Amino acid sequence: MKHKIPAWLVGLACIAQLAFGALAHAQAYPNRAIKLVVPYAAGGLPDTVARIIARSLGDTLGQAVYVDNRPGAGGSVAASTLLQSPADGYTLLVTDGPMLSITPLINKKITYDASTDFVPIALVGKAPLFLAVNANVKANTLDELVALAKAKPGGLNYGSAGNGSIHHLTMEAMNARLGISMTHIPFRGSAVSVPAMIGGQVDMVFASPPSLMGFVKSGQARLLATNSTTRSPLAPQMPALAEKIPGFDFAFTVAVLAKTGTPSEVISKVNAEINRIVKVPEVIEQLRTAGVDPAGGTPEQLARALRAEKAQVTDAAARAQLKAE
Of 243, 271, 289, the residue that ends a domain is 243
19 HSE (CA, 13 A, CB side): 6
pLDDT digit string, tens, across residues 184-223: 999 999 999 999 999 999 999 999 999 999 999 999 999 9
175 found inside a domain:
yes
pLDDT digit string, tens, across residues 238-250: 999 999 999 999 9
- Residue 148 — pLDDT band, cuts 50, 70, 90? very high
Look at the chain and report how many structural domains it folds into: 2
Strands 65-69 and 204-207: unpaired
**Mean pLDDT, range 125-150, rounded to an integer:** 97
**What pLDDT shows up at residue 90?**
98
**What pLDDT shows up at residue 5?**
59
Tell me, what DSSP letter sits at residue 261?
T
Whether the bond into 233 is cis, omega within 30 of 0: no
pLDDT digit string, tens, across residues 235-281: 899 999 999 999 999 999 999 999 999 999 999 999 999 999 999 99
Of 243, 269, 285, the residue that ends a domain is 243
Per DSSP, helices labelled H in the chain are 7-28, 45-61, 76-83, 97-101, 103-106, 142-151, 166-178, 190-198, 209-217, 264-277, 281-290, 299-319
Question: What is the signed CA dihedral for 58, 68, 40, 84, rounded to 10 degrees?
Answer: -120
pLDDT digit string, tens, across residues 89-108: 999 999 999 999 999 999 99
Domain span at residue 142 reads 130-243
Assess whether pLDDT exceeds 90 at residue 137: yes
Give residue 129's identity as a one-letter amino acid code: L
159 found inside a domain:
yes
Assess whether pLDDT exceeds 90 at residue 8: no
Residue 212, domain CATH: 3.40.190.10
Give residue 5's identity as a one-letter amino acid code: I
Assess whether pLDDT exceeds 50 at residue 24: no
Assess whether pLDDT exceeds 90 at residue 17: no
End-to-end CA distance of the chain: 79
Assess whether pLDDT exceeds 80 at residue 75: yes
Residue 39, domain CATH: 3.40.190.150
- Residue 1 — pLDDT band, cuts 50, 70, 90? very low
Contacts within 8 Å (CB) and 24+ apart, 143-146: 145/204, 145/224, 146/178, 146/180
**What pLDDT shows up at residue 20?**
46
Claim to verify: residue 262 and residue 197 sit in the same structural domain: no
Claim to verify: residue 119 and residue 259 sit in the same structural domain: yes
78 found inside a domain:
yes
58 found inside a domain:
yes
Of 188, 217, 243, the residue that ends a domain is 243
CA 202 distance to own-chain centroid: 26
